[in-house]
Amino acid sequence: MNSNSLLTKQNISIGLIWLFHVSGMIGIIYGDALWFVKATPLNLSLSFILLILNTKLNKKVFYLVIACFLTGMLAEIIGVRYGFLFGNYSYGEALGIKVMEVPLTIGLNWCILIFITGFIAQYFTDSLLARIFTGVVLMLFLDLVMEPVAPRLDFWTFESGLASFHNYLGWTIVAIPLQWAFHYFKINIKGPFPIHLFLLQVLFFLILLLKLNTLEL
């Protein structure tokens, strides 16, 4: 096999996200946890850039990225400032620069989540409604895995300690129109990159959850 055939944009992208996520897990558990946690904005930004590089670009992709970013940021700003949509919570310092108390990387994360879960949902059904439902369920599953770990990593903290049903209802309300737009615009992502990114995020938080009692941040 020609070695050049292995050095494709897709394979390099997948290799990089595996490298960054696995390094982050090992670093947080066994190394300088604070340093690796502070690198989270870089990891999210890299994941977003690589996701876009593996997407067939057109005006619809640009519009959807802007819509996901602005909708996610607006929903989170409302949530943080008024306790509406997600409950009473606040963001820590680990996710980087904030606008109105919400890290800009959260807007990027909304884009990432909509794109990767929308992509995966396409493999389960041809029905638009079922795809939207599947995408939202995948997002909620990932959030369920993240919530117990997020406060320990200084990502965000709910006043009540853990996220309530209110949080997941808010996620559903915000995610539905964005999932609809993803499938309506027929966003074309090349190869299995989104599947790898979704699995890595699940593994990242599950492994940290299992090691939670050993973390000293």
Query: Is 140 within a domain?
Result: yes
List, in order, residues 6 or more apart from 123 with CB less than 8 Å away.
Answer: none
Cα 22 from Cα 188, distance rounded (Å): 27
Compare 114 and 125 and report the one with higher pLDDT. 114
Query: Is 196 within a domain?
Result: yes
Q: Sign of dihedral through CA atoms 75, 80, 84, 89?
A: positive
Cα 166 from Cα 102, distance rounded (Å): 19
**Token pair belonging to 53:** 């590089």
Q: Is the pLDDT of residue 211 over 80?
A: no
Report phi then psi at 204, rounded to 5: -55, -50
Q: Is the pLDDT of residue 63 over 90?
A: yes
- Length of the chain, in residues: 217
Number of domains within the chain = 1
Query: Is 18 within a domain?
Result: yes
| Whole-structure pTM value | 0.93
Cα 204 from Cα 201, distance rounded (Å): 5
Query: Is 1 within a domain?
Result: no
Q: Is the pLDDT of residue 215 over 70?
A: no
Burial class (CB in 10 A: 0-12, 13-18, 19+), 39: middle
Query: Is 132 within a domain?
Result: yes
Query: Is 72 within a domain?
Result: yes
Query: Position 67: which residue type?
Result: A
Burial class (CB in 10 A: 0-12, 13-18, 19+), 23: middle
- Domain extent for 102: 9-214
In this predicted model, what pLDDT tens digit does every residue of 105-121 receive, in sequence order? 999 999 999 999 999 99
In this predicted model, what pLDDT tens digit does every residue of 150-178 receive, in sequence order? 998 999 999 988 888 989 999 999 999 99
Q: Is the pLDDT of residue 5 over 80?
A: no
> What is the pLDDT, as a whole number, of residue 29?
84
